[in-house]
Chains A and B, each alone.
Chain A
Amino acid sequence: MSIIGEIIISVLLVGAGFFGLVGSFGLLKLDQPMTRLHAPTKATTLGVGGVLIASMLFFLFFAEGITFHELMITLFLFVTAPVVAHFIAKAHLHRNWKPEDLPSPEGSTRWSTYCEPDQPGSGKPDSTEP
């Protein structure tokens, strides 16, 4: 029982280290800012999730019992990572791009992040057009 837990924890730890390394290396290596956004927000989050699961199994197998702090941290990180990625992408769009340079979305709508709050295409229900 103990050797099985040790093998599982070791595999999780090595995999998590690999994913964390890949995420940070992608942040260093990829060439465009929008592609650079992918590496840390996905690979590094997966890596830290692996570390947290390994920690939970370690305290289940070798210490005083199961702990649920790791689940809270995992939930918090997995909820906040897309929010952070969205914020950074939005800041990048507003600082470095003009709306004319972007490909237009489908239909007659515009990019909602460039719209005023009461314009059509801003995501709110439109009362002036059918």
Chain B
Amino acid sequence: MMTIALYIAILSFGVALLMNIWVVARAEGVGDRVLALDTMVINAIAMMILYGILHATPVYFEVSMLFAMVGFISTVAYCRFMLRGNIIE
């Protein structure tokens, strides 16, 4: 039962990632693309955790933590670049 639920969750987040790739490719403005990239980071973290549950290994937690930090910093840097034209003044 848990394996089926795991595969359902992996399928859902996979479809969500495909939707995000579609938005990144076909959005009108740059703000939507940044938002879609941030959502992609969150969905990828969920995929990594699900893969860790599937193989019953705690290796992927550090990867997810680093991925969360890098995703946050990159989104803030993108927004700062949109607002001010440069990142470090």
Contact = CB atoms under 8 A, between A and B. Distances in A.
Contacts of A25: 16, 19
Interface residues of A, number: 52
A-B pairs, top 9 by smallest CB distance, nearest first, are A17-B12, A24-B16, A69-B61, A10-B5, A17-B9, A40-B39, A87-B79, A24-B19, A13-B5
A10 B15 CA distance: 19
A24 B62 contact: no
Contact of B20 (A27, A36, A94): A27
Interface in B21-76: 22-23, 29, 31-32, 34-36, 38-39, 42-43, 45-46, 49-50, 52-53, 56, 58, 61-62, 64-65, 68-69, 72, 75-76
Nearest to B58: A67
B39 A44 contact: yes
Interface string A80-92: 1101100110111
Given A20-B13, A24-B19, A33-B29, A80 B68 contact: yes
Contacts, number: 154
A72 B45 CA distance: 13
B65 A76 contact: yes
B42 A40 contact: yes
A45 B15 CA distance: 16
Interface of B: 1-2, 4-6, 8-13, 15-17, 19-20, 22-23, 29, 31-32, 34-36, 38-39, 42-43, 45-46, 49-50, 52-53, 56, 58, 61-62, 64-65, 68-69, 72, 75-76, 79-80, 82-83
